[in-house]
Amino acid sequence: MTGIDIPKILELAPSPAYVIDLGQLRHNLAILDEVQQRSGAKILMALKAFAMWSTFPLIRETLQGVCASSPWEARLGRETFGGEVHSFAAAFKERDIVELLSISDHLVFNSFSQLEGFRPLWEQERVSIGLRVNPEHSEGQTEIYDPCARNSRLGIPRREFDGKSLAGVEGLHFHTLCEHLFEPLARTAKVFEEKFGEFLPGMKWLNLGGGHHITRDGYDINGLVDLVKYFRDKYDVEVYLEPGEAVVIGTGLLVGEVLDVVPNEIETAILDVSATCHMPDILEMPYRPEILGGYDPGVKQYTYRLGGPSCLAGDIIGDWSFEKPLTPGDRLAFLDMAHYTMVKATSFNGIQHPHLCIYEPEVGNLCVVRSFDYEDFRGRLS
């Protein structure tokens, strides 16, 4: 995550805080814009990954709208982002459909039973209806992040299409990737076309889902442009991409502070940020984040285990070594913390929710756009 003035942010930000760097965000958006301009694809922001809506006016200058997973996300997209709202969920309630039909441009079903069951509700509406398909082609190594894993509930397999009516269905959607470069998409698209290509003629759109790390170094942009053009030209469909991570990778920090250092076989620094509350993918995925000035254990002189303030014994962020000893009050910057962090954060144990901040590198200004207090914690319960 180069290009961010992290020392300056550590100096200016309150702790704990999620901080978004607008310079990095503009960098990512420029790449996504190039993809749109050259390929004709429409790119949506996946709200499930990142929904800090004070940044949406900037993102909306480039992206075409949002993809939403629920009526609340759809409403947030309609109110704060604008453009198109595309909604999908593994299953809907009737009242979700009623609400989503009034705020969505596209509504994607995950089964023929829901498509048909809700047909009387959607058939008279202007919303474009689609089906999520499952090409049953796995590229992911981590099963919980692989919608094509065996017995997946996400997407309709090809065999389910036999004998079914596609009347009123205007598009197909697949989402099968997670943090992937272009080649896995190319392989998936080939399998998708072999299995489902026969249904595309006459359809209006194809949605290639998310999981594309388009803004990461080494992504084959030319390959993506050609693939999008191929589907647009051959089937005369609008092609959508709905990345979440790619919009904000490398843009966000989580600033934390050392509260105490307790002795054990490995000294443990207890921070005001928590793996389980603020960076849950560290435990779920699991993965090891990067820390400014933090090295693998033993590389530098002072090695610590970093843990959160919660009661969870496993609220451990990991082990790092540093050039200088850690002492209470020291600030740490966890890198790449924009996506799947604040949208998943909890206030378990009543732990202080991080402030939300925006850093504008052009003027060196940090703005706290939202702080959370006791009333926010109390208001979630009754």
Ligand X SMILES: Cc1ncc(COP(=O)(O)O)c(C=O)c1O
Binding residues vs ligand X (CB under 6 A): 46, 48-49, 67, 88, 175, 178, 209-211, 242-246
CB of 209 to ligand X, least distance (A): 5
Tell me the closest approach of the beta carbon of residue 49 to ligand X, in angstroms.
4
Q: What are phi and psi of 143, to 5 degrees?
A: -60, -40
CB < 8 Å & 24+ apart, contacts of 282-287: 282/317, 282/318, 283/314, 284/144, 285/142, 285/145
Distance CA(370)–CA(368), nearest Å, equals: 6
Residue 176: what residue type? Answer: T
Q: In this structure, are residues 45 and 244 in contact, taking their beta carbons and an 8 Å threshold?
A: yes
Decide whether 69 or 346 has the Cβ nearer to ligand X. 69
Contact 241, 247 (CB under 8 A): no
- Minimum CB distance to ligand X, residue 234 (Å): 23
Closest of 43, 127, 123, 27 to residue 83, by C-alpha: 43
Q: How far is the CB of 247 from ligand X (least distance, A)?
A: 8
Kindly report the length of the chain: 382
Q: Tell how strand 65-68 and strand 268-271 pair up.
A: unpaired
State the minimum distance, in angstroms, from the CB of residue 258 to ligand X. Answer: 31
Degrees to nearest 5, angle at CA 243 with 168 and 9: 150
Is 48 or 353 the residue whose CB approaches ligand X more closely?
48
Residue number with CB closer to ligand X (179 or 257): 179
The least distance separating ligand X from the CB of residue 97, rounded to whole angstroms, comes to: 18
User: Minimal CA–CA distance to 161: which of 111, 90, 116?
Assistant: 111
Q: Specify the residue, 48 or 355, whose C-beta has the smaller distance to ligand X.
A: 48
C-beta closer to ligand X: residue 78 or 339: 339
Which CB, 169 or 306, lies closer to ligand X? 169
User: Min. distance of Cβ 134 from ligand X in angstroms?
Assistant: 12
CB nearer to ligand X: give 242 or 315.
Answer: 242
The residue (of 12 and 41) whose beta carbon lies closer to ligand X is: 41
Cβ closest to ligand X, residue 148 vs residue 258: 148
Shortest distance, CB of residue 340 to ligand X, whole angstroms?
7
What tokens does 249 get?
Answer: 């990778």
**Min CB(329)–ligand X separation in Å:** 35
Cβ nearer to ligand X, comparing 210 with 256: 210
Smallest gap, in angstroms, from Cβ of residue 7 to ligand X? 29
